[in-house]
Amino acid sequence: MTEKNTTESSSFKETAGFIHNYIYKDLDGELNKIHTRFPPEPNGYLHIGHAKSICLNFGLAQMYNGKCNLRFDDTNPAKEGQEYVNAIINDIKWLGFNWEDRLYFASNYFDKFYECAVTLIKKGKAFVCDLTAEEIKEYRGTLKEPGKNSPYRERSIEENLELFEKMKNGEFPDGSKTLRAKINMASSNINMRDPVIYRIAKLTHHNTQDKWCIYPMYDYAHPLEDAFEGITHSICTMEFEEHRPLYEWVINELEFVNKPRQIEFAKLKLTNTIMGKRYIKQLVENNEVDGWDDPRLVTISGLRRRGYTPESIRMFCEKIGISKSDSVVDSALLEFCAREDLKIRSKAVMAVLDPIKVVITNYPENQTEKLTLENNPENEDMGTREITFSREIYIEREDFMEDAPKKFFRLTPGKEVRLKGAYFIKCNEVIKDENGNILELHCTYDPETKSGSGFTGRKVKGTIHWVSCKDSINCKVMLYDYLVFDDPNSENGFRKNPDSIKVMDNAYIESNIKNAKIEDRFQFIRNGYFTLDTKNTTEENLVFNRIVPLKSSYK
């Protein structure tokens, strides 16, 4: 350990999290550098909870000048596939992390797993069992009662070796035999009651194809992978705490010199979200959402499509911290992080989502003029832009009220309001159809009130945004809300939000937007932060997703 790290250790121990304390203790001992890994199972797309683990594992490696591997735990071909491998790789790269040349698959170790299992059999520490899954569960016992030994537990080493080889060669049907570790059926930890470490599954694997018809269980493969790769700290979520004795048993029985330390932390729980891959997969397969990257999901691909930046997600993961105690994080914090990041990087534009046409009757019909607006009030370096003002404009429908209450400071008959960056206008006439629906408003403007002219004659309390009918682009805007709401009384703990998506399919936006790129983010004045949808946008039809509203409920 370098002198710098020693200095940091003495000052950082008091405030660092428990994981840092473990690492500092290990660095003060025999270790020189740490080596972590992020080990996703390729059976679905990653979500914001995985982002927490990614940031933790890669972040620790960066902090301590160590390394972090990306390793796919692909030991269950029934649920895994190459689509998920590709998606996970893309997500981690997008978040900004690099595993360099350390991309591994559990399936690449299948030969070594098999050899280790043979070693355990030869040591008398594993046996082939003929009990069915139901019988194994019955023999296991309960939390209060010990289990009982399998009738096949005392098979000879020779018979076990022969049967295990026949399992590998496909001579037995699925479910007819398993390989189990021989530990202690009376253990207070049920995971140590002769757990299954291999099962027969005649399935095609996405990586090894049909080479294998037996596959290792995760609890057996996990410690071996860590040992093979020289992992020093195996960071897991809390459900693996009770599995740690088995993790250590495998490492010790196979006599690895370098023993990884398993450390557990609490999973991320987020309000008003669906986090479980099983539930998300159901939504996808039932076509209740637009794929794994639906912007209402908190999958990383969904957040990316919605418009979240990798910086905002990393900021969120940093703010929530790491602990061993379960807690629920308010989803508004995630939105807050997005807003904090976007307010500095986003260009402001005017977009009218639900338009009413306004005709400025005293403005010359064929005249237009250019007005200058700032691109970002909080970032002068982003400069200015020109917009077109004309006789006919669109304003938001909600910015006009015919019979307005006293504190309504937007447009209403007989009163003035300022058009942002332009002039005062007064509504003189409301044009309606035969059903009483408002078609357009006829207004007049005061040419003396141009923004920036220094006019001080009178003041108005309201300012509204607008776009020129002559120089705006028609587009579609998607307004997203939570997909679900928390509901402790429901079976799944949530209820679906029937208003999780609102489509504004006749919106208008400044023509400056025409050169926008997919990765650009914008602040639609008074409406929130938006980005182009990656799946549905074309050159002819722009589709914008609202990332987050402007106002936050987070404190």
Give residue-wise pLDDT tens across range 111-155: 999 999 999 999 999 999 999 999 999 999 999 999 999 999 999
What is 348-555's CATH topology?
Ribosomal Protein L25; Chain P (2.40.240)
pLDDT at 489 (0 to 100):
84
Q: Is the pLDDT of residue 255 over 50?
A: yes
Looking at residues 223-229, what average pLDDT do you find? 97
Tens digits of per-residue pLDDT, 402-446? 999 988 999 999 999 999 999 999 999 999 999 999 999 999 999
CA atoms of 334 and 161, how far apart (whole Å): 53
Tens digits of per-residue pLDDT, 481-512? 999 999 888 888 889 999 999 999 999 999 99
CA atoms of 371 and 421, how far apart (whole Å): 7
Q: What is the pTM of this model?
A: 0.91
Tens digits of per-residue pLDDT, 363-379? 999 999 999 999 998 89
Q: Which two tokens stand for residue 497?
A: 């939000």
Q: Which two tokens stand for residue 291?
A: 């794929």
> 20 — alpha (psi -120 to 50), left (phi > 0) or beta?
alpha
Q: Nearest-CA neighbor of 69 among 110, 22, 35?
A: 35
pLDDT band at 21 (very low <50, low <70, confident <90, very high): confident
What CATH code is assigned to 33-265? 3.40.50.620
Using a 10 angstrom Cβ sphere, with 0-12 exposed, 13-18 middle and 19 or more buried, the burial of residue 440 is middle
Domain parsing of the chain, residue ranges: 33-265, 348-555
Quote the mean pLDDT of the chain.
93
Q: Strand, helix or coil at 21? A: helix
Nearest 10 degrees: Cα torsion 134, 140, 145, 146: 150
pLDDT band at 549 (very low <50, low <70, confident <90, very high): very high
CA atoms of 213 and 14, how far apart (whole Å): 51
Tens digits of per-residue pLDDT, 147-164? 999 999 999 999 999 999
Give the length of the chain.
Answer: 555
Which residues make Cβ contacts (< 8 Å) with residue 5, sequence separation at least 6?
27, 64
Q: Which two tokens stand for residue 226?
A: 């860590």
Torsions phi, psi for 74 (to 5 deg):
-100, 65
Q: Which helix (H) or strand (E) holds 245?
A: helix 244-253
